[in-house]
Chain A
Amino acid sequence: GDSVTQMEGPVTLSEEAFLTINCTYTATGYPSLFWYVQYPGEGLQLLLKATKADDKGSNKGFEATYRKETTSFHLEKGSVQVSDSAVYFCALSYMNYGGSQGNLIFGKGTKLSVKP
């Protein structure tokens, strides 16, 4: 079945450091890929997404590129801030507007702590 694997955390970085959180997926078809973020005490929020191979999603300085050849969707940010401290989830879903359910399949999450 389909699955998402992301790097184990926690990840601790100093402010302004470069961030990479690895995410790979196993899929039977051609899913959309997502990064969701959960800030302390808050709900899940969509950070960015990509719907097809070679698409790059970006938001708030974060980027991820849909790589079909390596089945990866790694999250990167050039300079992290303390406010980026959160749990990051990689996920996939299938959207077939003809009726596919589109439920998200999540990775286990990676906790990021950024120190000043």
Chain B
Amino acid sequence: GAGVSQSPSNKVTEKGKDVELRCDPISGHTALYWYRQSLGQGLEFLIYFQGNSAPDKSGLPSDRFSAERTGGSVSTLTIQRTQQEDSAVYLCASRGLRTDTQYFGPGTRLTVL
């Protein structure tokens, strides 16, 4: 079946602009995660959604970052007033119920000029 998909694959933006990154998880997966991969910080957890429960936002680096998940499926990560330090690859992963294996999408490479 289809894996996790993300769009766009690349995004170049100017400092101060807002960006939206999209994730389509594997159908039926109730858990969805966002991670950030950057040269300086490695792979960092950002936010977690499980079904209709309130998300765990403990990994978000600042209040410029937010995410939502509509209908328990597609998720959007929004970064407001982008800064150069936001440049990174943003990865989405999904997980089925009663398993600990996460499946990752190809990522969105964000470059803030």
- Chain A interface residues toward B at CB < 8 A: 32, 36, 42-46, 49, 51, 89, 91, 93, 95, 97, 99, 101-109
- The closest CB in chain B to the CB of A94 belongs to B100
**A91 to B98 alpha-carbon distance, docked (Å):** 19
**Interface residues of chain B: helix, strand, loop or mixed (majority):** strand
Contact present for A103 and B45 (CB under 8 Å) = yes
Contact of B100 among A51, A106, A108, A109 (CB under 8 A): A51
- Size of the B side of the interface (Cβ < 8 Å), in residues, is 22
Contact present for A102 and B31 (CB under 8 Å) = yes
- Chain B interface residues toward A at CB < 8 A: 31, 33, 35, 42-43, 45, 48, 50, 56, 59, 91, 93, 95, 98, 100-107
Contact present for B33 and A103 (CB under 8 Å) = yes
Contact present for B59 and A44 (CB under 8 Å) = no
Contact present for A107 and B104 (CB under 8 Å) = no
User: B98: which A residues are within 8 A, CB to CB?
Assistant: 97
